[in-house]
Amino acid sequence: MPEVITIKSGREIEMMRAAAKITAGARSIGRQAIRSGITTKEIDRAVHEYIVKNGGKPSCLGYEGFPAATCISVNDEVIHGIPGKRIVHNGDIVSVDLCVTWKGYVGDCAGTYACGEVSEEARRLMETARKAFFEGIKFAKVGYRIYDISEAVQHCVESEGFSVVRDFVGHGIGRGMHEPPEVPNYRPAHGAGARGNPRLVKGMTICVEPMICAGDYAVRILPDGWTVVTVDHSLAAHYENTILITDGEPEILTMADDI
pLDDT tens digits for 190-199? 655 445 799 9
Alpha-carbon 163 to chain mean position: 16
SS3 at position 25: helix
In a domain, 164, yes or no: yes
The CA R_g of the chain, rounded to the nearest whole Å, is: 17
Q: Percentage helix, strand, coil, to 5, in the chain?
A: 30, 25, 45
- What DSSP string describes 60-79? TTTGGG--SSEEEEETTEEE
Q: pLDDT-based confidence at 1, cuts 50/70/90?
A: very low
In a domain, 3, yes or no: no
The whole-number average pLDDT for the span 224-237 is: 98
SS3 at position 141: coil
Integer angstrom CA distances of residue 145 from 2, 182, 187, 194, 199: 17, 12, 11, 9, 4
Question: Contact, 57 vs 101, CB < 8 A?
Answer: yes
In a domain, 1, yes or no: no
Which of 107, 129, 126, 97 is CA-nearest to residue 27?
97
pLDDT of residue 104: 98
pLDDT of residue 189: 79
Q: Is the dihedral of CA 222, 177, 1, 211 positive or negative?
A: negative
SS3 at position 123: helix
In angstroms, the first-to-last Cα distance of the chain is 41
Provide the residue range defining the domain that includes 122. 10-252
In a domain, 259, yes or no: no
pLDDT of residue 3: 75
In a domain, 257, yes or no: no
In a domain, 211, yes or no: yes
Integer angstrom CA distances of residue 65 from 14, 15, 39, 61, 210: 30, 26, 21, 8, 25
The whole-number average pLDDT for the span 36-52 is: 98
**Average pLDDT in the chain:** 95
In a domain, 109, yes or no: yes
Q: How many DSSP H helices and E strands does the chain contain?
A: 5, 15
Q: What predicted TM-score, i.e. pTM, was given to this entire model?
A: 0.96
Q: What is the CATH number of the domain that holds 102?
A: 3.90.230.10
Length of the chain counted residue by residue: 259
pLDDT of residue 78: 98
In a domain, 4, yes or no: no
Overall number of domains in the chain: 1
Tally Cβ neighbours within 10 Å of residue 135. 20
What span, in angstroms and rounded, lies between the C-alpha atoms of 123 and 190? 33
Tally Cβ neighbours within 10 Å of residue 103. 11
